[in-house]
Amino acid sequence: MNKIEAIIREEKLDAVKNTLAAAGFVGLNVVHVTGRGAQRGVVHTVRGGETIQIDMLPKLKVELVVKDGDTEKAIQIIIAAARTGNIGDGKIFVSPVTQVIRVRTGERGEAAI
Ligand SMILES: Nc1ncnc2c1ncn2[C@@H]1O[C@H](COP(=O)(O)OP(=O)(O)OP(=O)(O)O)[C@@H](O)[C@H]1O
Ligand SMILES: [Mg+2]
């Protein structure tokens, strides 16, 4: 099992959520994050011509745990829904999950996802 953490643009949440759900990936978390990528935020020119650097930008983190065999499919769905082709489209992190337990039934592993 893997945890997929996808940092996406806020306006892409509905598209990501809906296309994931349509493929059977229903359970997930959405967390508001602030962060920066390779460009270290953005530079705005304000009135008078001075520039201000906004270091940390608001993004959303979509977090879901999937079966090993579903991992690539979920990644491709997220990319297709979240991508604009411009800088700041986000990033996807994948890490192993050793156990999942459904509290109600005690089921474990992939059956509990
Ligand atoms: N190495 C990283 N570790 C953790 N979070 C990151 C990392 N890189 C980016 N992020 C998070 O992802 C968000 C979006 O990153 P962003 O899409 O700008 O990545 P990038 O590497 O700069 O790619 P691009 O050149 O396409 O902008 C950041 O605001 C930050 O929240
Ligand atoms: Mg960037």
CA separation for the pair 55, 80 (Å, rounded): 27
Q: Is the CB of 38 under 6 A from ligand 1?
A: yes
Which range has the worst mean pLDDT, 6-20, 33-47, 88-102?
Answer: 33-47
Task: Dump pLDDT digits (tens) for 25-63.
Answer: 999 999 999 999 998 888 889 888 899 888 899 999 999
The yes/no answer on whether domain 2-112 falls in CATH 3.30.70.120 is yes
pTM over 0.85: yes
Which protein residues have their CB within 5 A of the ion that is ligand 2? Answer: 37-39, 87-88
Q: What residue ranges do the domains of the chain occupy?
A: 2-112
Query: Cβ(59) to ligand 1 under 6 A?
Result: yes
Nearest CA to ligand 1 atom 2: 37
